[in-house]
Structure 1
């Protein structure tokens, strides 16, 4: 399987999708960045994209009379994979720049798609054996920043109500908070400090399935926040969606976080 990486600008990818009957996906991709534009403006963007794709060798030929555009077979396979995949792993980080990593599954083949600030898109084929390392790199998890926690407690499970209070900026002074041990309260206080220092955001990793009518459903999700004393992992450990969520906040070491990310990603395979 080829490991060649193709790099598209936003406009080039939008044009490639449109040429392969993916007008709806192309419009969503472009409008998310540009907003509403006139038809003339769209035409200019796609004209520029056409010339750029040809200069890169990403377009083999154009038959203007019949309105046909020919791409290399591997690029066509990748674009069709994007269009027809309905199960994917998606990671999002905003810490250094807005990046979205999506691994699209289709008939047990996997396409790696990295979007950097919405303007550059990297496409390459990938395999499950690569994902753990890819995610560690994507989230910037480094051994030097993720070992040797000095906290006596590394994990606490709380209710959804308490989680909502914590993420809304409140410092709970309620029976819910009083039920926690002093070590657990210290752990939560440390998480709040790191959460605050990160502009009250956390990266996330999710598995997503697209159903009929293009309805998107998140099947599972965890939140990731590298910190000085480890890596925060937050997820609902209650498997039954009909039951009350049990939110687990855990400070993991580098090696533990690596395994967590790899195990989560493995559900896509």
Structure 2
């Protein structure tokens, strides 16, 4: 990986604004600061400019000539970042973080780690570095002993898993056998440890700046002392949601598959095959 840039949300928003992508900057800033008036945004930008000057991310000579006041290499970086057509998005709710991996061109990708919606760190990378990056980002502990646990539930039951007071309802509506009940109990304990939120890796296509990102596929998962729970949709007519505790090696295998598909022509369009095979 080759380090590119670290900045705050305000600094990133200002750089993107001056690169000519005001709406993109606004959407990023609103995630951290909420909706603000033009006057409030203007005041924030004025406070941020001296930070960019101190960091060498502001070109005073260009400013004096009424040109875009950021260095050419920074402007090129923003262009490639904003206009990326494909993205791998890795959520990390308990730690208030997110990892995004943007496809830049051919074998070049851009890692974008966001910490608490405040700090943004960017690095260029190759597709074969993707598995290790995601593995290190989550840093799940390798299980000491892997138990074979699994159960199936309905779509409706799956949608109820984000609230603790729904667990009894999910159990009653699922008609588990003894092994499935034991698996569900363990899953529920692990879900509680993660504040009732499943992590996910999603695969997005971004046709253009005017179109909302299109979700191509998503993998839900949950760390456990006994491995990693992974969610898979099946063709079962009544209980299509299959949840299984996989080994750490299985988890690494899925991440390897992400890199394989990322290297194909049209980087992410075939990921459904990865999770359905």
Q: Which bin holds the TM-score, normalised by the shorter protein?
A: 0.7 to 0.9
The gaps in structure 2 that reach 5 residues or longer are 264-277
The equivalent of 1:77 in structure 2 is: 76
Alignment of 1:19-34 (within 5 A): 19-34=18-33
Verify: 1:106 aligned to 2:104, yes or no. yes
C-alpha contact 2:111 2:123 (8 A) present in aligned 1: yes
* TM-score normalised by structure 2 residue count: 0.83
Provide the C-alpha distance between the structure 2 equivalents of 1:247 and 1:265, rounded to a whole number of angstroms: 25
C-alpha contact 1:147 1:254 (8 A) present in aligned 2: no
Provide the C-alpha distance between the structure 1 equivalents of 2:233 and 2:111, rounded to a whole number of angstroms: 26
Aligned-residue CA RMSD (Å) = 2.4
Deviations 1:186-244 (A, max 9, x none): 11221012112322111111001123641222111112221222222223245xxxx88
C-alpha contact 1:102 1:112 (8 A) present in aligned 2: yes
Counterparts in 2 of 1:206 and 1:173: CA distance versus 1, 3 Å:
closer
Deviations 1:68-118 (A, max 9, x none): 23444443232112221121100011122x111111113323111111111
Q: 1:201 aligns with which of 197, 200, 205?
A: 197
C-alpha contact 2:161 2:196 (8 A) present in aligned 1: no
* TM-score normalised by structure 1 residue count: 0.85
Q: 2:252 aligns with which of 226, 235, 258?
A: 258
Query: What secondary structure is seen at the aligned counterpart in 2 of 1:101?
Result: strand
Deviations 1:109-150 (A, max 9, x none): 31111111111111111111111111112112122xx2412x
Counterparts in 2 of 1:83 and 1:166: CA distance versus 1, 3 Å:
closer
Query: What secondary structure is seen at the aligned counterpart in 1 of 2:251?
Result: helix
C-alpha contact 1:233 1:251 (8 A) present in aligned 2: yes
C-alpha contact 1:140 1:226 (8 A) present in aligned 2: no
C-alpha contact 1:62 1:69 (8 A) present in aligned 2: no
Q: 2:174 aligns with which of 168, 171, 177?
A: 177
**Superposed displacement of residue 21, structure 1:** 0.8
C-alpha contact 2:113 2:122 (8 A) present in aligned 1: yes
Verify: 1:93 aligned to 2:117, yes or no. no
Verify: 1:227 aligned to 2:215, yes or no. no
Verify: 1:155 aligned to 2:155, yes or no. no
- Count of residue pairs brought into register by the alignment: 257
Query: What secondary structure is seen at the aligned counterpart in 2 of 1:8?
Result: strand
The equivalent of 1:267 in structure 2 is: 261
